[in-house]
């Protein structure tokens, strides 16, 4: 932007001048006529020489243009000194006063220019002086009206700009919030890997020394499960069908690790196209096994079933007496992911004999 445009900004559309200035010319003459329609000036208006009429109209048009531009400049310069938002009454009073002064100065200049163009042989009559004074009043009124119009237009443009900026700011805020949410989700998903791999690599290490064939089968299933985790790393929600397929593969690892000590039953009656955050069921199964005792005489029973709005993972309560240090990844991870994805959060129901987590089903 050039310096001249910075010093003299225009709060009105440039095309508005081509409409406003001729309109000011017409209104100015109309008001003058209505104020005193019986003036001798209007009686002999069209009987004057054509050149004189054109000169008079041209000077009046220039005068109207100067009133308009001074009104605009007055408004713009005062915006830098006394903005409307700080002292509106002071701003209104000063702008009105300056507008009247500008119009009077222009009237004086117009009079001197007219004195060079027209030759006044006689002293002005009382009626001519009255007409001149009435014209001054009309010009002052026009100046005030123009100032009001240009100021109103300027304030309207400012309001539109503010609304657009506010909308853009809301969009950017929503965009940044989305980026932050995705980053947090990604961080939470990455927490799954060490928790999952630590337990299964310990089992694999034992199998290698005991039964290499079984270790190979276990490794193949582990790789399938891990592949599912990688594929769904960038997904916030997976279909219930996908998650159950993953759980089915994961159950093989559980059977190898715990045998008959842990039994898991899956009873899903319907799948209506909703889903849950990926690897949620696996985390709840791991959480149940981690915090409960599981033996052949007292096996741990885990049940996965659904209600109309939830997937439920429940187990019989057999708390381990010696508490195992927790990395706070399981339930907290699930709650954090749900908090970022939905207003519906998981709920936990616990009594003396059972522990159940209700996972809300989310739209895909």
Question: What is the domain partition of the chain in residue ranges?
Answer: 3-182, 191-363
CA atoms lying within 13 Å on the CB side of residue 238:
21
Give residues with Cβ within 8 angstroms of 43, minimum separation 6: none
Chain center to CA of 200: 45
Specify whether the CB–CB gap between 302 and 288 falls below 8 A: yes
**3-class DSSP state for residue 363?**
strand
The two structure tokens encoding residue 244: 């159950």
The two structure tokens encoding residue 343: 């207003």
Least Cα distance to 313 among 305, 324, 321, 301 occurs for: 305
Residues 303, 346: Cα–Cα separation, whole Å: 17
Strands 300-306 and 274-276: unpaired
The two structure tokens encoding residue 52: 């004189």
Predicted confidence at residue 10, as pLDDT, reads 46
Tokens 């195992």 label which residue?
A: 324
Count the neighbouring beta carbons within 10 Å of the beta carbon of residue 96.
15
CA distances from 363 to 152, 270, 276, 342 (A): 49, 15, 8, 10
Specify whether the CB–CB gap between 304 and 315 falls below 8 A: no
Predicted confidence at residue 355, as pLDDT, reads 94
Tokens 């657009």 label which residue?
A: 164
Chain center to CA of 36: 57
Give residues with Cβ within 8 angstroms of 340, minimum separation 6: 181, 184, 185, 188
Predicted confidence at residue 347, as pLDDT, reads 93
Helix, strand and coil percent figures for the chain, each rounded to 5: 65, 10, 20
Specify whether the CB–CB gap between 185 and 340 falls below 8 A: yes
Torsions phi, psi of 57, nearest 5?
Answer: -65, -40
Residues 220, 199: Cα–Cα separation, whole Å: 16
Task: Kindly tell me the sign of the dihedral angle through the C-alpha atoms of 274, 278, 280, 286.
Answer: positive
Give residues with Cβ within 8 angstroms of 236, minimum separation 6: 185, 277, 337, 341
Please identify every stretch of the chain with a pLDDT value under 50, giving residue numbers as ranges. Answer: 1-11
Residues 327, 197: Cα–Cα separation, whole Å: 14
**3-class DSSP state for residue 48?**
coil
The two structure tokens encoding residue 205: 């290490």
Predicted confidence at residue 9, as pLDDT, reads 43
Give residues with Cβ within 8 angstroms of 121, minimum separation 6: none
CA distances from 84 to 148, 151, 273, 318 (A): 13, 10, 56, 72
Least Cα distance to 32 among 20, 21, 45 occurs for: 45
Containing H/E element for 355? strand 354-360
The two structure tokens encoding residue 308: 């109309």
- pTM of the full structure: 0.50
Query: Tell me, which fold does domain 191-363 have in CATH?
Result: Heat Shock Protein 90 (3.30.565)
The two structure tokens encoding residue 280: 């949620």
């Amino acid at each position: 932007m050039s310096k001249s445009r910075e010093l003299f900004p225009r709060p009105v559309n440039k095309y508005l001048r081509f409409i406003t200035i001729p309109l000011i010319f017409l209104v100015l003459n109309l008001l003058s006529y209505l104020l005193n329609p019986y003036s001798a000036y209007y009686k002999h208006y069209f009987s004057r020489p054509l050149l004189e009429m054109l000169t008079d109209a041209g000077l009046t048009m220039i005068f109207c243009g100067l009133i308009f531009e001074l009104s605009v400049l007055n408004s713009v310069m005062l915006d830098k000194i006394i903005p409307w938002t700080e002292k509106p009454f002071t701003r209104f009073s000063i702008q009105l006063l300056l507008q009247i002064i500008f119009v009077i100065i222009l009237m004086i200049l117009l009079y001197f220019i007219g004195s060079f163009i027209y030759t006044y042989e006689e002293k002005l009559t009382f009626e001519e002086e009255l007409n001149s004074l009435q014209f001054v009043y009309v010009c002052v009124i026009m100046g005030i009206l123009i100032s009001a119009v240009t100021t109103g237009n300027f304030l309207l443009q400012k309001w539109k700009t503010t609304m657009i900026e506010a909308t853009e700011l809301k969009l950017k805020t929503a965009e940044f919030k989305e980026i932050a949410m995705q980053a947090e989700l990604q961080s939470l998903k990455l927490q799954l890997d060490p928790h999952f791999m630590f337990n299964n690599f310990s089992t694999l290490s034992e199998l290698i020394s005991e039964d290499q064939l079984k270790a190979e089968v276990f490794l193949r299933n582990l790789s399938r499960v891990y592949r599912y985790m990688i594929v769904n790393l960038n997904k916030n929600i997976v279909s219930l069908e996908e998650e159950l397929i993953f759980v089915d593969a994961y159950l093989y690892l559980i059977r190898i690790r715990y045998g008959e000590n842990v039994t898991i039953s899956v009873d899903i009656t319907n799948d209506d196209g909703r889903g849950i955050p990926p690897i949620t069921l696996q985390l709840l199964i791991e959480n149940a096994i981690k915090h409960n005792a599981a033996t052949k005489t007292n096996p741990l029973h885990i049940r996965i079933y659904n209600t109309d709005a939830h997937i439920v993972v429940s187990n019989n309560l057999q708390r381990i007496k010696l508490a195992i240090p927790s990395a706070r990844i399981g339930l907290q991870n699930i709650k954090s992911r749900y908090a970022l994805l939905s207003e519906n959060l998981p709920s936990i129901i616990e009594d003396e004999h059972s522990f159940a987590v209700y996972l809300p089903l989310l739209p895909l």
